[in-house]
Amino acid sequence: MSAQRRRESPGGTGLQPARPALIIGGAGFIGSNLADRIARSGGEVVALDDLSRPGVEQNAAWLSARHPRLVSIEVGDVRDGRTVRRVVREAGRVFHLAAQVAVTTSLADPLEDFAINAAGTLTVLEALRARATPPPLVFTSTNKVYGHLEDLEVVDAEHGYAPSDPAIRRHGIDEQRPLDFCSPYGCSKGAADQYVLDYARTFGLPATLFRMSCIFGPRQFGTEDQGWVAHFVRRVLDDRPVTIFGDGRQVRDILFVDDLVDALLTASARIDATRGRPFNIGGGPGNAISVLRVLELIARRLGRRPRLEFGPWRPSDQRYYVSDTRRFERLTGWRARTEVDDGIGRLVDWMRAPRTIDATTREAAA
């Protein structure tokens, strides 16, 4: 790490070391993009990650090569209370992004899913509560806390499913939607979601959270279970069939990662206004798109048509989920600015590039 930057102390009595941003899950897809943004602005970052997800070691290498004096990679698990307490103790702001992220994995091992998502988050909250003056926390929750949305009446519109309710069709689903945890993943993330809000309410922690829709962009190593936009691009690039679960007319408001990073930094900087409140974050109605339409855009970018295979609907798969982001927009002025087609083009360009460590180092130096 570099010599610490200096800032004026709150009392105006002199200079003291600035505290680094802590990103838990900092080598993951979102975490590495967030760490890069903070470091490019001159901020120091501690990225805590267990490096267990395929591909994240490449992100860690990229961050270390790109910002050798500003980004420190801490290999550790969110369930390890001693490690979490140590890194939280020195943090100036915290972004908790680490999670078990797939519904399918939670169905196979609910105990592991709970230990990471629910108990791991509680470990982070307790470490923050132990600080005399806790730093701001932004936690990434999920739209799965709203469940399957079985009561949401949809119609089969031209480009995918759409809600019958004209207000929801115009604005999306807002934070007044009742919680309805579904699947072990929904339960574990929902428990974490509620703990974050309650620690803000009961203990006064400066904490907020995002109930996120689908996020995509560079540095995403998607799989069939999670990160589906990047997974689709990889399958088409490799000339392998793409499996769609359901009929492909499911609609999501996909959000480019740069826009999410803007939102995360804004929520942290505006914590006096955002604390104790959940926000639905996604691309909104302007970036609502069906699964099949995403594949059409990918095919157009790559100049080849994918081979499609269809499987049964997955548990808790929502036919329509689009975020109503107006609460966060009104409070902060944030907007999703990247159009879907442009974002997919940028993801395709990144995925076409070599992914060796040598290429990662060259990319970092560029």
The set of catalytic residues is 185
Q: What's the burial of 178, exposed, middle or buried (CB within 10 Å: 0-12/13-18/19+)?
A: exposed
Q: Compute how many other C-beta atoms are within 10 angstroms of the C-beta atom of residue 337.
A: 10
Q: How far apart are CA 290 and CA 309, in angstroms?
A: 16
Q: How far apart are CA 207 and CA 143, in angstroms?
A: 18
CA atoms within 13 A on the CB side of 208: 23
User: What residues have CB less than 8 Å from 304, skipping those under 6 apart?
Assistant: 236, 239
Q: How far apart are CA 366 and CA 361, in angstroms?
A: 9
- The pair of structure tokens assigned to 356 is 């060796």
Type of residue at 346: R
- The pair of structure tokens assigned to 74 is 């801490």
Type of residue at 98: A
CA atoms within 13 A on the CB side of 236: 24
CA end-to-end span of the chain: 21
Q: Compute how many other C-beta atoms are within 10 angstroms of the C-beta atom of residue 92.
A: 16
Q: How far apart are CA 363 and CA 350, in angstroms?
A: 10
